[in-house]
Structure 1
């Protein structure tokens, strides 16, 4: 079964944060997360979607919302669609 990148990212966020996250909710501005969590998110993205996040990619705007993160992942993986097969390497 395939799942959109955004849904998978929201599932990670909700599991890690213990609460529902709206697709466009800025969890940094709301104070729900901190810089330590940002590192966890970067690690999750690199492992799940199998790409490397470079120093120049570390703009907070890429990581503020699930929508922004999904867009960033699509650009980094050059995925023309929003779907990623389940069961990738973790």
Structure 2
């Protein structure tokens, strides 16, 4: 069974839902979750594990920087970059 390709919109939606559930605060795709104080830097490691297990990717080396996890939009771009079957939203 073929699954539909990943899109930025689908990942953003899933990540905002995940972040909203985890923080008990509504999170929008462009909200900087670290600058807003919603989460700590320790939560970044949880995000790494969540993204890796959900999207079957490996986040290593230079990708392991806090700027790649600040917003759902940035995380979607990271997943698409690291995913073999990702499709850019403007393609």
Q: TM-score range by the shorter chain?
A: 0.7 to 0.9
| More strand per residue | 1
* Normalised TM-score (structure 2): 0.81
Structure 2: any 5+ residue segments left out of the alignment? Answer: none
The CA RMSD over aligned residues, in Å, is: 1.9
Is the Cα contact below 8 Å between 2:29 and 2:72 reproduced in 1? yes
> What is the aligned counterpart of 1:65 among 60, 71, 85?
71
For 1:1-90, list aligned pairs within 5 A: 4-78=10-84, 79-81=86-88
Q: How far is 1:55 from its partner?
A: 2.6
Moved over 4 A (4+): none
